[in-house]
Amino acid sequence: MSVSLETDETFDQVIKSNEKVIVKYFAGWCGTCRLMAPKYKRLSEEEQFSNVVFLDVNAEHNPQARKVAGVSNLPFIATFKNGELIEATPVSKIDKVKELLENF
C-alpha cells in the first residue's frame, strides 16, 4: 500500500471509513520529517501492515486534522481505529512507528 496525502477536507472521511489508520503529521521545513518520509513509505509497503491505511498530513496547512490528534511537535504519529484516536505521540525514530503498528 502507499501513503496518501490528506487534507482537512478529506481527513475525517478517510479515518472513519477505514478500520485502522496511521497518520504522520509533518511540515515542509521539518528536517526530521523529510528523513522519516521514505522509511514511513517502506513501512506502508510491508505485508504485515497491509490492513493499515497510511496517511500523511501537512500540519501547517490542515489545522482541523492537526487538532484531532493534538499535534504538539513534529513529526507526530497518530493511530485511529474505526475513526477513534487510539494513540498520538511525537516520534523521531521509525522504530517507534513500527512498534506502534505492531501493537495496533
16-74 per-position pLDDT tens digit = 999 999 999 999 999 999 999 999 999 999 999 999 999 999 999 999 999 999 999 99
Indicate which CATH number applies to the domain containing 96. 3.40.30.10
Q: Among the options 15, 21, 33, 69, which is catalytic? A: 33
33 is catalytic: yes
Q: Among the options 15, 21, 22, 30, which is catalytic? A: 30
* Side-chain-side CA neighbours of residue 59 (13 Å): 23
Q: 104 pLDDT band (50/70/90 cuts)?
A: confident
Question: Are the CB atoms for 71 and 81 separated by under 8 Å?
Answer: no
94: containing domain = 3-102
CB atoms within 10 A of CB 48: 10
Give pLDDT, residue 17.
97
Q: Give the global pTM.
A: 0.95
Please count the structural domains in the chain: 1
Handedness of CA 27, 29, 33, 38 (dihedral sign): positive
